[in-house]
Structure 1
Amino acid sequence: MTGRHSMTRPGTARGAREDAGRPAPDWPAIVLRVVGSGLLIATAAIHLDLYLTGYRTIPTIGWLFLLQVIAAFGLALAVLAIPRRPAAALLASRLAAAAGAGFALATLGGYLLSVWTGLFGFKEVRTTAGIAAGVVEVAAFVVLAALALAPAPANREAAAPAT
């Protein structure tokens, strides 16, 4: 056996020391971040389409749709871009996810209010597109709330055995 090869397998004492410096990927949180961002982008795209196809002419509602599009894209970017590591960024990541969840819930609430009683003098008609947007917003709320409430990633350095 040459000096380049080693009999130590990954996971043994030497392999554990080599891996201790690298944090373990937090796959559930990564999946929640990507899915949550995607759902926020989907709701933004739906509202952008509605804005461009006629809602921009409705007083107050048109501007609110445009504001919804901008905010949803911004929150999606924040949820996706703010890492959960290091520990200092964890709070910012949780706040971005919580803001996205609250935003999705508020958007759904605005839609339901406009269907049931009207909003700013505008009464929405229930459509398949509206129901689909509502489902997307509920899914965004669930995913982003789960991300905001997810436990902090485990610290591998603390878990590694001292040698």
Structure 2
Amino acid sequence: MTWALRIVVAVALLGSALTHYLLWQDGFKDIDIIGPLFLVNVVAGVVIAIAMVRWSHWLVELLAIGFGAVTLGGYLISLTVGLFGVREQFQTQAEVWAMVTEVVCIVLGAVLLIRRPNLVGTVRGDLQKVLKRGAGRSQ
């Protein structure tokens, strides 16, 4: 079941990345700030999708949640008050598809994270390892 969820999240990440790439090609590339951000979204979606199927780590699940939340949050801001001068109107299939894929990233990424056994202990152990490495370098 876990692998099936990971595949679905990876497909959702790729779906969002593809949608943003197609929108970038359709004219968003000519918009300052938003155009480059769409390309960042494309690259991030592909990288996180690959990591989702290659590395079973809580950090990848957290990245998928963050990717979906930041992308969806940016879109919702552009729908309401505008984002860097761009104001969207929610009228295309691409917008619907992107919202669906981003919600899948958030919800199923959270399901994967929550289902992880001993999540708190694992995160704590990982953070302690990082801190020990950092402390060793500063001496």
Correspondence 1:67 to 2:43: no
* Counterpart position of 2:73: 109
Q: Which deviations, in whole Å up to 9, do the C-alpha atoms of 1:34-73 show, x marking residues without a partner?
A: 1111110000000010011110000110000000000110
Q: Match of 2:3?
A: 30
The corresponding residue for 1:79 is: 52
The TM-score, its normalising length taken from structure 2, stands at: 0.80
The corresponding residue for 2:103 is 138
**Are 2:67 and 2:105, in contact at CA under 8 Å, matched by a contact in 1?**
no
Letter in 2 for 1:48: Y
Higher helix proportion (structure 1 or 2): 2
Structure 2: state its 5+ residue gaps. Answer: 119-139
How far, CA to CA, are the matches of 1:35 and 1:152 in structure 2? 20
Check conservation: 1:94, 1:149, Cα contact below 8 A. no
Moved over 3 A (4+): none
Q: Could you tell me which amino acid in structure 2 is paired with residue 144 of structure 1?
A: G
Taking the aligned partners of 1:142 and 1:115, their CA distance within structure 2 comes to 22
- Distance across 2 between alignment mates of 1:33 and 1:138: 14
Q: What residue number does 1:97 align with?
A: 61
Q: Which amino acid aligns with 2:37?
A: L
Contact 2:51–2:60, Cα closer than 8 Å, also in 1: yes
- Amino-acid identity (%): 36
Residues 84-114 of structure 1 deviation map (CA, whole Å, 9 limit, x = unaligned): xxxxxxxxx1111111111101100000000
Aligned mates of 1:44, 1:57 — CA distance in 2 = 18
Paired residue type of 1:40: L
Aligned position for 2:30: 57
Q: State the Cα deviation string for residues 123-161 of structure 1 (Å, max 9, x = none).
A: 1121232122112211121111111121339xxxxxxxx
Q: What corresponds to 1:7 in structure 2?
A: none
Corresponding residue to 1:150 among 102, 111, 115: 115
Letter in 2 for 1:140: C
Cα RMSD after superposing both structures: 1.3
**1:122 and 2:86 matched:** yes
Larger radius of gyration: 1
Question: Paired residue for 2:137?
Answer: none
